[in-house]
Amino acid sequence: MSCESPPPFAHKRPAGPVPGIVLARAEPITSPARFALGVAKLDGALGGGLAAARLHELWPAQAEDAPSAAGFAMLMALKAAGNKGAIVWIEQQARQGRLYPPGLAELGIDPARILFVNAPDEKTLLRAAGDVVRSPAPGAAVIVPAGPARLLDLTASRRLTLFAEASGTTAILLRAADPQAPSAATTRWRVAGAPSRALEANAPGSPAFTLDLLRQRGGAPSYGWQLEWDRDRAHFTPLSRDLAADAGGEYLAAG
């Protein structure tokens, strides 16, 4: 952040905010652009969708839900990036197996769009994440620390938020577990897998998630959202197990 040099004739300066102090403002002046998840009620609860160019934080409810959280983070990144730009996946280390590109393709995310960045330790991860989020080139960045990630505290999340606001790159922080610590993220989510809508012969169906919106800036928390990912139309639909498997998409979209 650079401060402008003081004007030579200080007494002639027009009244108004001093340049340089504007940068340290508490709230953004303009309301952020938003991207919808596709479920009308949830988007309504979020005030018209998730804010683009902000930091969103999520973690799995239990250790087994880690792939569900990773999947939801990637789908959120896909929604945030739209058709523009690369999605950068910045991971500290792959303890729960590595992200599998054919599996991404099966979720409707083109693996060619994804730039993989591996960081050896948390400090490097944080620095690389800062660089990526500060750059306007990528569409979205998913930051995946391993373990409790103590360096990713309130200050670090505040920095990431400011970078994202300045560059327009949406940042998604995928934690390994509930951090039990304050964060400056615009929304914080707890993600768990949900039983999918069974296909014929009791086969597992499309990915389904249970989401708890624990905190959102300027909004109320809400719990127990059950969503299903519709890969062919690239948006979320409400998960309803009452419907038969062949009820068709139109009815679901209306719900």
Name which of 88 and 184 has its Cβ closer to another protein: 88
**What does the alpha-carbon distance between residue 144 and residue 51 come to, in Å, rounded to a whole number?**
20
**What does the alpha-carbon distance between residue 162 and residue 23 come to, in Å, rounded to a whole number?**
10
Q: Which stretch, 14-22, 33-41, 98-106, 180-188, contacts another protein (CB under 8 A)? A: 98-106
**What does the alpha-carbon distance between residue 46 and residue 150 come to, in Å, rounded to a whole number?**
28
Minimal distance, residue 10 CB to another protein, in Å:
29
**What does the alpha-carbon distance between residue 138 and residue 35 come to, in Å, rounded to a whole number?**
16
Q: Rounded to a whole number, what is the distance in angstroms from the first to the last CA of the chain?
A: 47
Picking from 232, 174, 236, 178, the residue whose alpha carbon sits closest to that of residue 210 is 236
Interface residue with another protein, options 6, 204, 221, 255 (CB under 8 A)? 204
Work out whether 237 is an interface residue with another protein (CB under 8 A): no
Work out whether 185 is an interface residue with another protein (CB under 8 A): no
**What does the alpha-carbon distance between residue 174 and residue 172 come to, in Å, rounded to a whole number?**
6
Work out whether 199 is an interface residue with another protein (CB under 8 A): yes
Work out whether 151 is an interface residue with another protein (CB under 8 A): no
Q: Which stretch, 10-18, 22-30, 103-111, 155-163, contacts another protein (CB under 8 A)? A: 103-111
Picking from 53, 112, 106, the residue whose alpha carbon sits closest to that of residue 80 is 53
Interface residue with another protein, options 137, 151, 154, 247 (CB under 8 A)? 137
Minimal distance, residue 247 CB to another protein, in Å:
14
Those residues whose C-beta lies under 8 Å from the C-beta of residue 233, and which sit 6 or more positions away, are: 249
Residues making contact with another protein (CB under 8 A): 64-68, 70-72, 74-75, 85-86, 96-108, 110-112, 114-120, 124, 127-128, 131-132, 135-138, 192-196, 198-199, 201-208, 210, 229, 231-232
